[in-house]
A = this chain, B = another copy of it.
Amino acid sequence: MAHKISSKLLWQQGDSWRLRLDMLQLPDGRTAQKGAVEHPGAVVLVPIRPSAQGPEVLMLRQYRHVLDTVILELPAGTRGWDEPWLTCAQRELREETGHRAETFTSLGQVWPAPGLSDELMQLYLAEELTPAPLPGDEDEAIEVVPMPLTELETMAWDGRLLDAKSIVAILRAVHLLAQR
């Protein structure tokens, strides 16, 4: 197995993720450079509320700079390096949807991109929503779109939903709610 000879920090995205470069020694003696994104982690939220047509989820249509397109996804956001997970969850929920939740239930954790980044995402079902907006990030372009949970489940199965974290969190929410 390769082992690390040296490391340096190449770049940092504000007070968020940073790119580290590691010099590795390979089993055959050669060396290779490998990039590793150090990430503070993120929360992913399934904000759900009852409606006459059954449970609905506050989804986002959000412009994603790196894709240069608007995508459908759950509210989510990067944690401050020392921020408690539930503080981050409530803050991101208020910034992105204008609502706070009375209860957060864990839907587990995922690594979104372990070949590239050490980011860990904490997934939560967020319930008992009430309006409580906070100003969002300057560079975010977000529209809140309430959608039926059943429609989102269908989209997670048939491929119309493309955002991996949203697929996992929605399917786990459906699974949890079916067990109540």
A128 an interface residue at 8 Å Cβ cutoff?
Answer: no
**Contact: B22 with A35, CB < 8 Å?**
no
Q: Would you call A32 an interface residue if the criterion is a C-beta within 8 Å of the partner chain's C-beta atoms?
A: yes
Is A116 touching B37 in the complex (CB atoms < 8 A)? Answer: yes
Which residues from 115 to 150 on chain A have a C-beta closer than 8 Å to any C-beta of chain B? 115-119, 121, 138-139, 141
Copies of this chain: 2
Q: Which residues of B contact A27 (CB under 8 A)?
A: 138
- A residues 159-180 near B (Cβ < 8 Å) are 159, 162-165, 167-168, 171-172, 175
Interface residues on A, range: 35 or more
- Residues of A in contact with B (beta carbons under 8 Å apart): 1-2, 10-11, 13-14, 17, 19, 21-22, 24, 26-28, 30, 32-38, 42, 63-67, 71, 73, 76, 78, 107-119, 121, 138-139, 141, 157-159, 162-165, 167-168, 171-172, 175
Query: Cβ of A38: which chain B residues have Cβ within 8 Å of it?
Result: 66
| Contact status B113-A159, CB under 8 Å | no
Residues of B within 8 A of A14 (CB): 32
The docked-state distance in angstroms from the alpha carbon of A162 to that of B13 is 25
Q: A116-B117, A167-B110 are in contact. Are A65 and B37 (CB under 8 A)?
A: no
